[in-house]
Amino acid sequence: LSFTPSAYIIPHHCVRKDESSTTKLRTVSNASFKPNETSTSLNDILHSGPTLQKDIAEIITNFRLKSIVVCADIKQMYRNVEVAQEHRKLQHIFYRSDPDGPIDEYELNVLTYRVTSSAFLAQRVLLQLVNDEGQNYPLASNAIANQTFVDDICVSVDTTAQALRLQQELTELLKLGGFELHKWASNSQTVLQNVPLDHREQPLHIHSNDEHAMKVLGLQYNPENDTFSYTIRLNPIAYTKRSMLSEMSKIYDILGWITPSTFYVKHLMQSLWLLGLGWDDPLPSEICSKWTNFISTLPQFSDLKISRHIPISSANFIQIIGFCDASEKGYAANLYVRTENDDGVRIQLLKAKSKVAPLKVISVPRLELCAAQLLTQLLTSTKNVVNTIQPQNIILFSDSSVVLSWLSIPPYKLKTFVANRVVDILEE
């Protein structure tokens, strides 16, 4: 209960999250609430702080590079980080434990979700814990600093012995900061032997066709066969721009593994904007038909399995190979890892990305140049991972003779559009 005057009241409500394996009902705070148009919300006056969070795509890619997986969740991380006494007056809420009882005013003493500064403060506390105590826990320190996204720790190591050591270090180091780990997951039963059943991650039976699948950084992962998979369920009855765009946004493909399908959605989205319709105006039958046809293909995604492990540790030879291409509708690029070992050759998709062509008509050769630029940007975005992989060589392919010719011409001899992209490609 609060016994001091409040400086701000944070409204809150409950949301249902069926895909959660632990907390189905969650409290959502609205620190952006303004009582009226001239008021200032709590989030308006807070700094978000510098970005300390590692790139999620990089975390997932690093997660693929070694054979044994160790995943865990920091239990109620925000609730274990106290807010300075003088700032707690900004975190007051109204609450009653009994629906028929009086409404009381409470003061929140710990970090609160949806408050602008909370994400930075929580991450900063973890890094401070690593700085203060991490010298005795090298594996855990690296995992927390480089392989943690918010409260999810996702690491891969080469051996079971390393996994067990990492598990012990994580538990001990985080305990020093008052944190507890739960929702453990691994593709090694040895790692899970000492974890109580109620502290293990539970499969997503309701939302997945894969009975062993669980969520790892937003992706569907099966530790039994060590693969990623997709279960995409969208509402086929989305016949306004608002509802269709809302459904499209539910497709999560951070690394572009289903780019051919997401490009179709992007192009359909562009078509929606070109119509100039209002948010809730009915859509033409042609657009609705395309949407229905796309929805009908979604069950096929359950057959798609993507191997998690990229065997670089046992490889005798490693290559990064990239491709780019374009058409009048858009352009795309992708990167593969090619590994050779005693068992043969494996080629695995690392990352892909696509873009629809701009509304202003651009020639196909220029779009091919944009594709080549996208490919070099894709490679640059994975430079830390590439440094970890240490390939013997990197080869980037374009089948456009015009683009290859432009790249061999001094930029000052080219038109501005082409010259700018040639310079960017060569610098990358």
Per-block average pLDDT, block size 10, for the chain (428 residues)? 85 77 76 88 93 94 96 94 93 89 91 93 96 96 96 95 96 96 93 84 58 85 92 86 90 94 92 88 91 91 92 94 97 97 94 95 96 97 94 96 96 94 93
What pLDDT does 98 receive?
Answer: 87
Q: How far apart are the first and last CA of the chain?
A: 57
Using CA atoms, how far apart are residues 95 and 6, in angstroms rounded to an integer? 14
Using CA atoms, how far apart are residues 73 and 149, in angstroms rounded to an integer? 10
Using CA atoms, how far apart are residues 147 and 152, in angstroms rounded to an integer? 8
Q: Domain limits of the chain?
A: 12-229, 241-297, 310-427
What pLDDT does 206 receive?
Answer: 42
144-181: b (≥16 Cβ within 10 Å) or e: beebbbbbbbbbbbeeeebbbbbbebbbebbeebebeb
Type of residue at 354: S
Type of residue at 109: N
What pLDDT does 21 receive?
Answer: 59
Using CA atoms, how far apart are residues 228 and 252, in angstroms rounded to an integer? 13
Using CA atoms, how far apart are residues 253 and 268, in angstroms rounded to an integer? 17
Region of 289 please: left (phi>0), alpha (psi -120 to 50) or beta. alpha
Residue 88 tokens read as 């707690």
CA of 270: how far to CAs of 17, 144, 265, 267, 333, in Å? 30, 40, 9, 5, 20
| Residue 368, phi then psi, degrees to nearest 5 | -65, -35
What pLDDT does 35 receive?
Answer: 85
User: How many residues belong to the chain?
Assistant: 428
Question: What does CATH list as the number for 310-427?
Answer: 3.30.420
Residue 377 tokens read as 């940007």
